[in-house]
Structure 1
Amino acid sequence: MTAMLAAITPWKDRAGAFSSLRLIVFLALLVPAGSLLFDALTGANQPEPLRGAMHDSGTDAIRILLLSLLVTPLRQMLRWPRLAELRRMVGLFALSYALLHLLLYIAYQNWGLLRALSEIALRFYLTIGIIAVLGLTVLGITSTDGWVHRMGGRRWRQLHRAVFVVAALGLLHFMLQAKSDVTEPMLTAGLFLWLAAYRAVAPEGGSPGFWQLLAISLGAALATALGEAGWYALKTGVNARLVLEANLDVSFGLRPALWVLIVGLALTLARDLARRIPRPNRRARRVRAVA
């Protein structure tokens, strides 16, 4: 019943009180759906509206899945406990866009389910994609408090750590289906590397230190640059050195590696600033509340 009420009134917290934070995030997560609807009504994706909507919904699913993985690091770095209550909502939105992506793919196949299944079985990147959607579906179904009680906290946490495997498969699907331009797949892959590295070094219940976060940011940016260079070298035959050098030329815009570095440094500085802001202790807050 609690899970049902939460789904009906996502702007309320666990205690049933109105939460402006939850409402803002809920409305923000609806923006991609609104954009898809607007494009459908205006014919923005002509001449293949279904194909365009299919790709856009898949990209939205990947972006929002990465946001769900960012919730815990932000909560720990900014020391903002209320962010934890957003994790389930963001994850379920990622699942919703992934299922929409799958539905649009079936529609793109003229609703031929057998044909769609055949294509999924024969094409490696589609097989990976459906595995990611199925994995995300399992995580979505078991995200409720009821499943936490059924499985026990330890087993439930072990299962939901698989979200990193699901995200990695989704990113691989995203990258393999790209044609000549892998700018966004590489950017999302680099951000995922940052999140995975953060999870690997973060102490229990806390965030890594400043220098650890700095090293993670530099490492993720370097891995992104090397990955992009290797991809173009293998896929198109472009000299890897030229791709690496392009990361230093900002006259045509920032490459994915530089964006990963910028985001990583911004999060590192945000963590450091959050530590410098004095916080009242819990006892003082309780005294003021009683008064």
Structure 2
Amino acid sequence: MRITSLWRDHGGRFSALKATTLVLVLWPGLTLAARWAMQDLGGRPITEVIHGLGDWTVRFLLITLAVTPARAVLDWPRVVLLRRMLGVTTACYAAAHLTLYCVDQKWHLLTVASEIALRFYLTIGFVAMTGLFVLAATSTDGWQKRLGRNWKKLHRVVFALAVLALFHYFLQAKSDVTAAVFAAGLYFWLMLWRLAPRRWQTKLWLLPALAVAAAVLTAGIETAWYGLATGANAQRVLLANLDVTFGPRPAVEVLLAGAAVFVLAALRRAFRRRQPTLVRAARRAA
């Protein structure tokens, strides 16, 4: 794939949307590299970068899964142009995550292999990563033609890979799974939207319902995780979602994110309804 195709649409024309997205997806990696160079990552900078790349792998995976809902909910067909770039970006961040882990192990690949085989959370992460590499490698037009109908079947594996990636995120986080719970909540929202009947997926009223349902599931998984991992009292964990003294809990953040999607969709639709009126007024003024 030619480098220039990264910022061009299918017709070969320059796409401001793709060019802007390219800059945005590179920014987290460049920021981590700059902080590392400036010794701004503490006593174990390579560990911080490894974790940071892993965090962004999960984030970009969720953003990739959000492309289809964004197209329908926001009535934004052009966002589909970004799906391949975002998917490949996810695989690239995963590759960098693994590469730096190998660097941290001083390229003792037998040690790396044994760690992956013996540590369950590394095994889960490696399986998810391998799947992401396969999907990225087969994301080209050529592979799409070769695989035909099987191409979509293969790429639906991304939903299972996301579950594995999130599980790895939880296991790696150990005692504080706040970020992992929030990511899981966003995944719940995306999956609930896909499970809704197709005729409902473009309805504005569905969005508040999804936000509430995803928030409830988020609170549930946080309660279950802390209960199983630490034996924490379920009632206390649930009530913690009502205490914002130290900031909102993941369930509340998921609810707010869902509310933001609702507001964006409502504004988008209001603007599109008003657009023909604005065009007619501009023509009359001219």
Q: How many angstroms does 1:201 deviate by?
A: 1.5
For residues 1-291 of structure 1, the aligned pairs below 5 Å read 4-5=1-2, 7-152=3-148, 154-201=149-196, 203=198, 207-276=201-270, 277-278=272-273
Deviations 1:240-271 (A, max 9, x none): 21111111111210110011111112212333
Percentage of identical aligned residues: 45
Q: Which stretch has the larger CA shift, 178-187 or 211-220?
A: 211-220
For 1:42 and 1:202, locate their aligned partners in 2 and report how far apart those are by CA, in whole Å: 51
Amino acid at match of 1:237: G
Deviations 1:67-95 (A, max 9, x none): 11111111111111111100100111111
Q: Which stretch has the larger CA shift, 229-238 or 178-187?
A: 229-238
Amino acid at match of 2:155: H
Q: How many angstroms does 1:214 deviate by?
A: 2.3
Gaps of 5+ in 2: none
CA RMSD for the aligned pairs?
1.9
Q: How many angstroms does 1:225 deviate by?
A: 0.6
Distance change (3 Å), C-alpha of 1:15 and 1:275: same
What SS does the aligned partner of 1:177 have? helix
For 2:183 and 2:167, locate their aligned partners in 1 and report how far apart those are by CA, in whole Å: 10
For 1:253 and 1:84, locate their aligned partners in 2 and report how far apart those are by CA, in whole Å: 34
Contact 2:53 2:97 in 1 (8 A): yes
Contact 1:61 1:97 in 2 (8 A): yes
Query: How many residues end up aligned between the 2 structures?
Result: 277
Contact 2:72 2:202 in 1 (8 A): no
Q: How many angstroms does 1:151 deviate by?
A: 0.9
TM-score normalised by structure 1 residue count: 0.90
Contact 1:190 1:260 in 2 (8 A): yes
Contact 1:135 1:166 in 2 (8 A): yes
Gaps of 5+ in 1: none
Q: How many angstroms does 1:237 deviate by?
A: 2.3
Q: How many angstroms does 1:210 deviate by?
A: 2.7
Q: Which stretch has the larger CA shift, 231-240 or 57-66?
A: 231-240
For 2:261 and 2:61, locate their aligned partners in 1 and report how far apart those are by CA, in whole Å: 18
Q: How many angstroms does 1:279 deviate by?
A: 7.6
Q: Which stretch has the larger CA shift, 227-236 or 126-135?
A: 227-236
